[in-house]
Amino acid sequence: MTESKHTPGPWTAVRGKHGWNVDLHQHYGICSIRDNTDGSGQQEHEANAKLIAAAPELLLALEQLHYVLWSGEPNYQFAWDQVWADTQDAINKAKATK
């Protein structure tokens, strides 16, 4: 795996005064999604913020999956179980289901 150039996670989606923020430890802003002036799009903005916040975990899960599938890992079942769990956690975070 190559070294990532993005800000390492975990990132969190936090509701702010004027919209959603994606933060690193609530002190370093990754991005902001501002509310529409007419108040529309609230659920979509929240879902977008949570998807963005899950990006580091989603990337890691994909990198792990790629490694397990292409490395010839001798302990394939153990590695697969961990990758499956990490992937499901990342998907749940992105969909805000957990």
**What pTM did the predictor assign?**
0.78
For residue 59, is it within any domain? Answer: yes
Do 44 and 66 lie in a common domain? no
Sequence length of the chain is 98
- Please state, in angstroms and rounded to a whole number, the distance separating the CA atoms of residues 83 and 1: 15
Do 66 and 48 lie in a common domain? no
| Structural domain count, the chain | 2
Do 17 and 31 lie in a common domain? yes
Do 47 and 75 lie in a common domain? no
**For 5-42, how does the pLDDT look when each residue is reduced to its tens digit (9 = 90+)?**
888 889 999 999 999 999 997 677 899 999 988 878 88
Q: Can you list the pairs that 67-74 forms with residues at least 24 positions away whose Cβ atoms lie under 8 Å?
A: 67/1
For residue 83, is it within any domain? Answer: yes
List the domain range (segments joined by +) for residue 38: 10-52
**For 49-86, how does the pLDDT look when each residue is reduced to its tens digit (9 = 90+)?**
999 999 999 998 888 887 777 777 666 666 777 888 88
Do 42 and 79 lie in a common domain? no
Residue 97 has pLDDT above 70, yes or no: no
Can you give 50-80 as a three-state secondary structure string?
A: HHHHCHHHHHHHHHHHHHHHHCCCCCHHHHH
Residue 48 has pLDDT above 90, yes or no: yes
Do 97 and 66 lie in a common domain? yes
For residue 27, is it within any domain? Answer: yes
Closest to 58 in 3D by CA, of 86, 18, 26: 86
